[in-house]
Amino acid sequence: MTKRILTGLKPTGEQLHIGNYFGAIKPFIDLTHTEKDAEFFLFLANMHGFTQLHDPKTLKEYSLTILKLYLAIGINPNKVFIYNPAEIPAHAQLNRVLSCLTIMGTMERMHSYKDALAKGKAGELSVGTFNYPVLMAADILLYDADLVPVGQDQKQHVEYARDIAEKFNRQYGETFKVPHPLINREVATITGLDGRKMSKSYNNYIGLLDDEKTLLKKVKQIATDTKTVEESKNPDECNVYKIGKLFLTPEEDQARRKKYLAGGLSYKEAKEYTFEKMRNYLAPIQKKYHAISDEEVIHMLAKNTSHIQEIAQKKITEVYKKIGFTLS
Ligand code: ADP
Ligand code: TRP
């Protein structure tokens, strides 16, 4: 069977940031170039986004943004199936089945739940947020995905998808492919402006759609230590370097590292260089983004729905038969 590579992103913000891009989606794009024979699935995780976004207008707006960004960053819609799981009933159906085979304790061990617990907010979580990983497992298992490229923070969720697939297969016979998370170590956790993990929730991000003025302002905000210009600087401990290197070729990166180590590099110059590289990298993405219409992405989704629906329906039909839902 052809290898299947699948991932999705939640439309929970006005745009994507470079942490989402380099951590989750760029590794996926790279695979579309190297894995010539694989099939690629990329979805809009709007059913996941709904855990946070209850205003329909905003949810729609953010969903369209993410879809346009998929195209603007170079996903080839002729090579990748881009789709909307909310249009495919099997996602919710498999979610139901897997929820009943998953014990509460498994969800209580998830980082996201533990974080909410630590903040004293567990009681305020919606049930949909609590069992978010179950829906994620349904997204993956419906399509017999082999590889799931994600950022480090999603690893535990994909591991749960593996466990529940194995459990189902043991109990009801071979049904699901056991997926593997694919985490690119180099970009597992992209650093934010303040040195913490880049995240929407910390507001420490650089957005793919940030305009020049905003980019400049944000680059100026990148936290640095108090080393003098003359002092040698360890690039691996410098936030400006860590963010800036994402936009460099390997050769440029080597040259930069030498500059940091040699001493004589001011943070002002380091930031100016980073700003230039970042702007040049993001400008064509932004140009492409603004040229894509809502209709174009809506049409693209509609084109894929029946093919995706067929794959998902086949799997859920098999599951329903095996668990005794189907009576004929
Ligand atoms: P955020 O933390 O900004 O809310 P999401 O949780 O929506 O981001 O993450 C979407 C995807 O991007 C996930 O696969 C996640 O692992 C990846 N991702 C998010 N932030 C980073 C980061 N700083 N470094 C690497 N990957 C990231
Ligand atoms: N949880 C992922 C995120 O944070 C989105 C997602 C939903 C996903 N279902 C998935 C990723 C299945 C990979 C596979 O953005």
Q: Does 140 sit in the ligand 2 pocket, CB within 6 Å?
A: yes
240 C-alpha to ligand 2 centroid (Å)? 29
Rounded CA-CA distance 50/153 in Å is: 19
In CATH terms, are 4-190+293-323 and 212-289 the same topology?
no
Rounded CA-CA distance 7/144 in Å is: 12
User: In CATH, which of 1.10.240.10, 1.10.10.10, 3.40.50.1970, 1.10.1740.10 is domain 212-289?
Assistant: 1.10.240.10
pLDDT of residue 231: 95
pLDDT of residue 34: 95
Rounded CA-CA distance 232/126 in Å is: 50
User: What are the pLDDT tens digits along the chain (328 aa)?
Assistant: 899 999 999 998 889 999 999 988 999 999 999 999 999 999 999 999 999 899 999 999 999 999 999 999 999 999 999 999 999 999 999 999 999 999 999 999 999 888 888 888 888 999 999 999 999 999 999 999 999 999 888 999 999 999 999 999 999 999 999 999 999 888 888 999 999 999 998 999 999 999 999 999 999 999 999 999 999 999 999 999 999 999 999 999 999 999 999 999 999 999 999 999 999 999 999 999 999 999 999 999 999 999 999 999 999 999 999 999 999 8
Architecture of domain 4-190+293-323: 3-Layer(aba) Sandwich (3.40)
Ligand 1, atom 20, lies closest to the CA of 19
Ligand 1, atom 16, lies closest to the CA of 151
pLDDT of residue 187: 80
Domain coordinates of the chain in residue numbers? 4-190+293-323, 212-289
pLDDT of residue 322: 98
Ligand 1, atom 15, lies closest to the CA of 151
Task: Enter the pTM of the model.
Answer: 0.93
Q: Which residues contact 95 (CB under 8 A, 6 or more apart)?
A: 134, 135, 138
Q: Which amino acid is at 256?
A: R
Rounded CA-CA distance 263/192 in Å is: 24
Q: Which residues contact 147 (CB under 8 A, 6 or more apart)?
A: 3, 4, 5, 6, 31, 38, 179, 180, 182
Rounded CA-CA distance 118/125 in Å is: 13
In this structure, which ligand is nearest to the CA of 7? 2
